């Protein structure tokens, strides 16, 4: 199917992209095009104009300094997956990127496009929420703001971003020596999207878990924090028995809004959330291996 007609503009800078968005009603940005183009072809979106930010060098690349990994919004999943620096600073980020879609998707798709598309089944929202990432956003007149993931994701496909704002970078803390992080997903066999995904970050003092950040994706409209699981893990030794008991508490954290669709019923997703959390925690603590 062909996309409906639209005007096309290529922006040379973030400021120009913002100006073009402001001067063309119903216009949208295009980065890798792997989500926006299918939406156009399916007539789920009919923008009057597309503003191509794909050539803006300032939005590309990865830097690591002062305990922060800064990933430009236009950085592709493949660039993240293949970065030894990212692998060393926070292996879960590189691993999650490497598990997205297929090589074509990873080569074209960008981290910025992925988070702004805000698909509940995407991997980045879950992983970045568990890591307490920050989104750097630029608006008209050079105004910059930073948003926590909890202030960014809400309704599916509706991030809290104004029509004339550009996501410029994602910032993720480098893991400290006593932290472990892992992402596990039940991937849709055709697309790789997470039917259910779980990202875990645990802080250890010797054998004892002193803090846990546990987030589930694919189940409810926005990444869901599994607070009961976090509480159940904190202060405990991360034995298989304690991990299993804690993971089983996730059903209460997901509430009544669990997605049921063609791929998996709500009941199945709720059950798989516990399975994926357990899986991620056992990997993080090296009790099982891929
Ligand atoms: C076959 C297939 C399989 C996939 N499998 C997975 C998977 O397993 N896991 C997963 O997480 N994802 C998956 N995806 C999605 C993929 O990760 C895309 O990269 C991502 O959804 C969109 O990135 P993009 O750069 O292509 O964005 P685009 O399609 O160009 O844009 C997406 C949206 O974001 C907006 N946008 C883009 N960049 C910015 C910016 N910097 N600031 C503000 N707005 C912006 C656009 O206006 C648009 O609304 C899959 C996609 C396909 C086609």
**What are the structural domains of the chain?**
7-52 (3.30.43.10), 57-173 (3.30.465.10), 179-284 (3.30.390.50)
Residues with CB under 6 A from ligand 1: 28-36, 73, 100-101, 105, 108-110, 112-114, 116-117, 122-124, 166-167, 191-193
Residue 13 alpha carbon to ligand 1 centre in Å: 20
- Compute CA 140 distance to the chain's CA centroid, rounded to the nearest angstrom: 25
Angstrom distances, CA of residue 91 to CA of 70, 80, 106, 200: 15, 10, 17, 12
- pTM value is 0.97
CB atoms near residue 141 (< 10 Å): 7
Reading the chain (290 residues) residue by residue, the pLDDT tens digits are 788 899 999 999 999 999 999 999 999 999 999 999 999 999 998 999 999 999 999 999 999 999 999 999 999 999 999 999 999 999 999 999 999 999 999 999 999 999 999 999 999 999 999 999 999 999 999 899 999 999 999 999 999 999 999 999 999 999 999 999 999 999 999 999 999 999 999 999 998 999 999 999 999 999 999 999 999 999 999 999 999 999 999 999 998 889 999 889 999 999 999 999 999 999 999 887 65
């Amino acid at each position: 199917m062909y996309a409906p007609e639209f005007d096309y503009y290529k922006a040379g800078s973030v400021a120009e992209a913002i100006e073009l968005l402001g001067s063309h009603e119903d216009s949208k940005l295009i980065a890798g095009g792997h989500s926006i183009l299918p939406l156009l072809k399916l007539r789920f979106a009919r923008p009057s104009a597309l503003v191509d930010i794909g050539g803006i060098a300032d939005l590309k690349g990865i830097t690591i300094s002062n305990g922060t990994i800064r990933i430009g919004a236009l950085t592709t999943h493949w660039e993240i997956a293949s970065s030894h620096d990212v692998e060393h600073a926070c292996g879960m980020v590189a691993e999650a990127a490497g598990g997205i879609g297929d090589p074509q998707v990873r080569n074209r798709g960008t981290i910025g496009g992925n988070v702004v598309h805000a698909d509940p089944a995407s991997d980045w929202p879950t992983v970045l929420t568990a890591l307490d990432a920050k989104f750097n956003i630029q608006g008209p007149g050079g105004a910059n703001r930073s948003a926590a993931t909890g202030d960014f994701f809400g309704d599916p496909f509706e991030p809290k971003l104004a029509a004339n704002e550009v996501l410029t970078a994602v910032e993720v803390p480098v893991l400290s020596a006593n932290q472990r992080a892992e992402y596990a997903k039940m991937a849709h066999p055709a697309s790789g999207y997470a039917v259910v995904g779980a990202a875990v970050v645990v802080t250890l003092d010797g054998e004892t878990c002193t803090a846990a950040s546990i987030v589930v994706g694919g189940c409810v409209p926005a990444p869901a924090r599994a607070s009961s699981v976090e509480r159940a893990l904190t202060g405990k030794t991360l034995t298989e028995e304690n991990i299993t008991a804690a993971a089983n508490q996730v059903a209460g954290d997901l509430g009544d809004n669990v997605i049921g669709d063609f791929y998996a019923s709500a009941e199945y997703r709720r059950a798989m959330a516990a399975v994926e959390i357990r899986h991620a925690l056992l990997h993080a603590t090296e009790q099982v291996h891929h």
